[in-house]
Amino acid sequence: MRKKNKSIPLLRTISRKKDSRINAPLISVKTILYIFTAMVALVVAISFIIFYLPDRVWTVISLTGIFLVGTAAALTIIFTIMQRYLYGKPIQIIADAARQVSEGDFSVRIHPIRKDGKKNEIEVLIEDFNTMVQELQSTEILKSDFISNVSHEIKAPLSVIQSYSTALKDPTLTHEQQKQYADIIMQSTKEMSEMISNILKLNKLEHQEISPVSTPYPIGEQLRRCALHYMNWWEEKEIDFQIDVVDIMIPYDDTLLELVWNNLISNAVKFTPEKGAIRLTSWVDDTVLKVELRDSGVGMDEETMKNIFDKFYQGDVSHSTKGNGLGLALVKRVLELVDGEIQVSSRVEEGTAFTVILRL
């Protein structure tokens, strides 16, 4: 018995239901007027001929035949011209645009053919074509930007990995030194993995149209869960982490906002020294929810605060090996997508406070 070839992909049946976007009439008023005008012209011409000819019986019979043949010919010509105008020309435009896309030009867009704002099958095809090309363009930009960013930022951790991997070959190294070098290599690979993940997320948020899915969910529970995710880290540093958040439902995309909380909390723990303090609070102020994360960390100067939301910016050189400057850029972009705001206040060696404002 022959085995089925599992490598052949299954074909999905496309639904033939009418697209709800199609709202143009089946026959346009213009077409009806053309046909009506042609018919009236034929009737008037035949009426004049019948009226002025003496042998009216044979004349009526012959002219009736002529009328039927003429009507068929006129309708054929009218429908041929209308079909060429309504379908042939737009399809040719779409074919030319598709050819340009196949050659790598993703800037092509097709303008609507109809001027009345209605949509028939051709208009819906044009709309879907433009959407497809826009997504292809976004993916192309994402790919090129990702390659550019990775090639620039991946050099530092790769250099560390290469250096310590070479050092591990030294037979005179003690067991402690080998363990230390291996730990540094593992930390560098972890940082590189996080960096690539963050670049992918950020590029997708920047270059693709992401529509946040707003569903009511408990924000207090999410904030506590995100904080507890880093509990081992802040307990290891003996940080006094206090949480005081309100339990309310908010209509936002919980997946996107989780990116915000995780990046802010990880930054706070990262830059807060041992036995420092972090306070996560939230409260309702009129028609907005405010979430504040305040730490007793290294703080920032004015120049750093102006640039912290830029990609790959790292103001504190002494801590530059602990991050890749993408977390706050992600936070900023997510809050732009959900129509939120973020404020920052900080002083060097006194700590930093980030306040996220969400409209209720």
Tokens 């995309």 belong to residue = 253
Q: What's the predicted TM-score (pTM) here? A: 0.50
Q: Which runs of consecutive H residues, i.e. helices, occur in the chain?
A: 29-52, 56-83, 89-102, 121-153, 155-167, 175-207, 219-229, 231-236, 254-271, 302-307, 327-337
* Cα distance between residue 271 and residue 213, in whole Å: 32
Which domains does the chain carry?
A: 29-136 (no CATH), 154-207 (1.10.287), 215-359 (3.30.565.10)
Residue type, 69: V
* Cα distance between residue 272 and residue 316, in whole Å: 13
Query: In the prediction, which pLDDT does 51 show?
Result: 66
| pLDDT tens profile 132-179 | 888 777 767 656 665 665 665 576 677 778 888 888 888 888 888 888
| Average pLDDT of span 19-38 | 68
> Which structure tokens are listed for 196?
């690539």
Position 319 pLDDT exceeds 50 = no
Which 3 state secondary structure label does DSSP give 152?
helix
What mean pLDDT value characterizes the chain?
77
Greatest Cα pair distance in the chain: 127
* Cα distance between residue 160 and residue 180, in whole Å: 13
* Cα distance between residue 206 and residue 223, in whole Å: 25
| pLDDT tens profile 43-57 | 777 666 666 665 556
Q: How far is CA 237 from CA 93, 122, 233, 271, 277, in A?
A: 65, 64, 7, 11, 10
- Interior/surface letters 308-336, b for 16+ CB within 10 angstroms, e for the rest: bbebeebbbeeeeeebbbbbbbbbbbbbe
CB atoms within 10 A of CB 264: 23
Top mean pLDDT of 69-73, 96-100, 222-226 is at: 222-226
> Which structure tokens are listed for 227?
């904080």
Residue type, 75: L
Position 279 pLDDT exceeds 90 = yes
| Average pLDDT of span 272-291 | 93
Cβ contact 321:331 at 8 Å? no
DSSP string, 38-62: HHHHHHHHHHHHHHH-S-HHHHHHH
* Cα distance between residue 43 and residue 45, in whole Å: 5
Cβ contact 247:218 at 8 Å? yes
* Cα distance between residue 77 and residue 73, in whole Å: 6
Residue type, 161: I
- Interior/surface letters 188-225, b for 16+ CB within 10 angstroms, e for the rest: beebbeebbebbebbbebbbeeeeeeeeeeebbebbbe
